[in-house]
Chains A and B, each alone.
Chain A
């Protein structure tokens, strides 16, 4: 958890009052946050939000964003990820990012480093246009990609591309804890100009004699070896005490796993996190192939023809519905993941955790619904 200083007793009392059932009755049915946000968007007491206070660009394709979170945000442990909501042209877009700062940095310095993905609406916006003062919506930190306690005596922090952020959080956290055991920080990125946090990591290495730093380019004339058992053995003596935390694209994880097992590393000592972007189905596609996952009823069925409402009914579910023509929104349902096409607008949408109208939506690939 964050180690930010506790708010003064008075402020805590005020927050408790604002969150009380009494105030909820007085300001019902909307609730206190719907009034506080009108005064200042980050003044909410239950909704975790933050304000961007700094944006800097370490590399041409990335932006490092510092957010001051409000007291409703409960912090994170190094390595975890956080859902970040950002409004772009009136629409709140939510994406998952792993904070890169130390878990002791506090609420005032939640640091995110975002690399622009060529097709990424949000990442491109953050890199190109995000400005201080912007309000962001914060989810609770999630994920099991965290270092054990007591801390490992021998540790490799391996990353690829934008996967550097959670291991950077781990490194900074360990340094803040005064950790003085063996750490190797091994980062892979396409070209040297894409290397993130290099200056800071090398500066940390000067203060911590047992921290070794290796940055590797994977493309171009300077390309070094990819992650192989040999290249891992060169930097870390793998033994029963050693741990590895790896974050990056699936290929890097696969490489790390096989190298780790080949060198005799303990399977329990391998922590891994990956990120993938879901493939977008073409808008004009006829019947897509894939699986519908009805999460609440824990049922799966292969994609058939018809709307999602019809397919859910065919699978034996009975979702709420009304007009069955896209007017009344009674069948509106939370889509956890996957791409769907709206039959009225033709628009394909692949956001996670968004509401869709079942009666006018067809799947455009695997879809998971909260039904």
Chain B
């Protein structure tokens, strides 16, 4: 399926959709308990074990199997720490446990970005204004051109290069996100407005760098180069992986964008609808879902960002059924397909947009791009209606 027009729902339908999703959320919230607490503690235990064994093995990093094993364990540990634990805990998914170690507003994660800044740029800005051009700063992170609606500039020719660099240094890209460099560049704000943000990034980033690239290597004495290389590789692996997963959440073909005007008087049901149309899922096995921090269930995550993420798989069938009932797409596909379509988009948008159909120019900006190259390989967008 290459093109479709956005499903038109009446206000009553949108309200009913909101009620159904609220009811589903309420049911899960009522059911939260020991099972969920045990789950997150089990994952934390696994992460800690991977981290300690990874660091330990890297001290014997002069032996190739120890280096490979240690690096892999540390990379997995960081992926779990950032995605299934950090991202989800900071969303408030486990606040109901009242465990001070899992409080959303005080949690810190093993990456350069300070938790407070992430909570602002991600939990508030991105999750409230999902896919609203000009408001959701996750559309291109202020660096990439990710939408036809973003005016093409000559420097966008570097889109694929910037994307590659962002992927490789993703933890730093995320750390600098709340600086809003593009607004500083546009003269809307000054560097001095961001002094506190910069100081916090410096404090957090310095500790992360010291730990991974100075102190742990130094502790290994003559083995320092092996530890340094292992830590660099683990961080790089985590960066590439999280970039891939995150970019598959909102940029595959078929995901819709919105204008500020469209969401001006949005109701709760309208917000739910936008989350559904603006997110895409990844299919895969249990391990894949875990390593994606269950962001493979991006649609469920955007509908219910503060429900424990391991519940998303359980409610996915119901969410999908709701989509079908309202004639809404449920954008889902395997990683290679979804990421392939993201890569294509990044490359295509490096070039100025071709003349668009008058209808598109008139404002149906959310109609997905005609994608001749991707014909027949589009995502599994189920539209029943």
The reply on A91 being an interface residue by CB < 8 A is: yes
Q: Does A131 contact B (CB under 8 A)?
A: no
| Contact for A322 among B52, B96, B128, B210, CB less than 8 A | B128
A322-B128, A329-B119, A332-B104 given; A90·B32 CB < 8 A: yes
Within 8 A of A (CB), among B89-145: 91-92, 95-99, 101, 103-105, 108-110, 119-120, 123-125, 127-128
Interface residue from A34, A325, A329 paired with B101 (Cβ < 8 Å): A34
List chain B residues, Cβ under 8 A from A92: 97-99
CB of A316 within 8 A of chain B? no
Question: Which residues of chain A are near B216, meaning CB under 8 Å?
Answer: 26
Q: With the chains together, A189 CA to B361 CA distance in Å? A: 81
Q: Which of B33-41, B194-202, B255-263, B289-297 contacts A (4 or more CB under 8 A)?
A: B33-41
Q: In the complex, which residue of chain B has the Cβ closest to the Cβ of A36?
A: B48
Known: A29-B207, A322-B128, A328-B123. A91 touches B305 (CB 8 A): no
Contact assessment for A25 and B207 in the assembled complex, using a CB-CB cutoff below 8 Å:
yes
Q: With both chains docked as a complex, state the minimum distance between the C-beta of B153 and any C-beta of chain A, in angstroms.
A: 31
B210 contacts across to A, CB distance below 8 A: 25
Interface residues of A in 1-40 (CB under 8 A from B): 25-26, 28-30, 34-35, 37-38
Instruction: Name the CB-closest residue of B to A357.
Output: B92
Question: If the complex has contacts A330-B119, A330-B124, are A355 and B97 also in contact, measured as CB distance less than 8 A?
Answer: no
* Residues on the A chain within 8 Å of B120, using CB: 322, 330
Tell yes or no: A286 within 8 A of B by CB. Answer: no
Neighbouring A residues of B37 by C-beta, 8 Å: 87, 90-91
Give the contacts of A74-118 with B (CB-CB under 8 A): 87, 89-94
Given known A90-B34, A90-B97, A328-B128, contact A35–B48 (CB-CB < 8 A):
yes
- Contact, CB under 8 Å: B105 / A323: no
Q: Are A90 and B33 in contact (CB under 8 A)?
A: yes
Task: Name A35's closest neighbour in chain B (CB-CB).
Answer: B48
Q: Is A351 at the interface (CB under 8 A from chain B)? A: yes
What is the minimal beta-carbon distance from A17 to any residue of chain B, in angstroms? 14
A35 to B45, CA, bound (A): 8
Contact A35 B52 (CB under 8 A): yes
Whether the Cβ atoms of A29 and B127 lie closer than 8 Å is no
- Does B268 reach chain A (CB closer than 8 Å)? yes
* Interface flags, B15-45, vs A, CB<8A=1, else 0: 0000000100110011011111110000011
| A333 nearest in chain B by CB position | B105
- State how many angstroms separate the Cβ of B149 from the closest Cβ of chain A: 23
**Cβ contacts A320-338/B at 8 Å (1 or 0 each):** 0011010111101000000
Query: Once the chains bind, are A29 and B48 in contact (CB under 8 Å)?
Result: no
Interface residues on chain A, size class = 20 to 34
The answer on a CB contact under 8 Å between B98 and A329 is no
Contact between chains at B105 and A329 (CB < 8 Å): yes
B30 contacts which chain A residues (CB < 8 A)? 345
The answer to whether A94 and B45 touch across the interface, beta carbons within 8 angstroms, is: no
Min C-beta distance of A209 to chain B, whole Å: 49
Nearest chain A CB to B248's CB is how many angstroms away? 22
Residues in B neighbouring A93, C-beta threshold 8 A: 98
A328→B120 CA distance, assembly (Å): 8
Contact yes or no, B215 A328, CB < 8 A? no
CB B368 to nearest CB in A, in angstroms, measures: 26
B211's contact among A28, A38, A328, by CB below 8 Å, is which?
A: A28
CB-CB under 8 A from B178, the residues of chain A are none
* B300 located at the interface, meaning its Cβ lies under 8 Å from any Cβ of chain A in the complex: no
Interface size class of B (residues with CB under 8 A): 35 or more
B34 to chain A, nearest CB (A): 4
Does any Cβ of A come within 8 Å of B169's Cβ? no
- Decide: A329 and B211 in contact? CB cutoff 8 A: no
Does B156 interact with chain A (Cβ within 8 Å)?
no
Given contacts A38-B48, A354-B98, whether A327 and B32 have CB atoms under 8 Å apart is no
What separation, in Å, do the CA atoms of A351 and B95 have in the docked complex?
A: 14
Is A29 in contact with B95, judged by CB distance below 8 angstroms?
A: no
Chain A residues near B109 (CB-CB < 8 A): 29
Contacts of B35 in A (CB 8 A): 90
What is the bound-complex CA distance between A87 and B33, given in angstroms? 10
CA distance A330 to B123 in the complex (A): 8
Is B306 in contact with chain A by the CB < 8 A criterion? yes
**With A28-B207, A35-B52 as given contacts, are A325 and B271 in contact (CB-CB < 8 Å)?**
yes
- A207 part of interface (Cβ distance < 8 Å): no
Q: How far is the CA of A345 from the CA of B123 in the complex (A)?
A: 20
A344 proximal to B (CB < 8 A): yes
Tell whether, in the assembled complex, residue B34 and residue A328 are in contact, meaning their CB atoms are under 8 Å apart. Answer: no
The complex places the Cα of A91 from the Cα of B210 at a distance, in Å, of: 36
Q: Quick check: A30 and B34 within 8 Å, CB to CB?
A: no
Which residue on chain B has the smallest CB distance to residue A90?
Answer: B37
Cα–Cα distance between A35 and B36 once the two chains are bound (Å): 20
Q: Which residues of A contact B128 (CB under 8 A)?
A: 322-323, 325, 327-328
- Chain B residues with CB under 8 Å of A328's CB are 119, 123-124, 127-128, 305
Q: Which residues on A sit within 8 Å (CB–CB) of B25?
A: 344
B271 to A, closest residue via Cβ? A325
**How close is B101's CB to chain A, nearest CB, in angstroms?**
6
Q: How far is the CA of A206 from the CA of B176 in the complex (A)?
A: 73
Nearest chain A residue, comparing its CB with the CB of B111: A29
Least Cβ–Cβ distance between A323 and chain B, in angstroms: 4
Hey, which chain B residues are within 8 Å of A325, CB to CB? 128, 268, 271
Q: Cβ of A29 and Cβ of B215 under 8 Å apart?
A: no
The interface residues of chain B lying within 8 Å CB-to-CB of A35 are: 48, 52
Can you pick out 23 interface pairs between chain A and chain B where the beta carbons lie within 8 Å of each other?
A: A28-B211, A29-B207, A30-B108, A34-B101, A37-B101, A38-B44, A38-B45, A38-B48, A87-B99, A89-B33, A90-B97, A91-B33, A322-B124, A325-B128, A325-B268, A327-B123, A327-B127, A328-B124, A329-B91, A329-B104, A330-B123, A332-B95, A355-B95
Interface pairs A-B: 7 shortest CB-CB: A322-B124, A90-B37, A29-B108, A329-B92, A323-B128, A328-B124, A328-B123
- Residues of A in contact with B (beta carbons under 8 Å apart): 25-26, 28-30, 34-35, 37-38, 87, 89-94, 322-323, 325, 327-330, 332, 344-345, 351, 354-355, 357
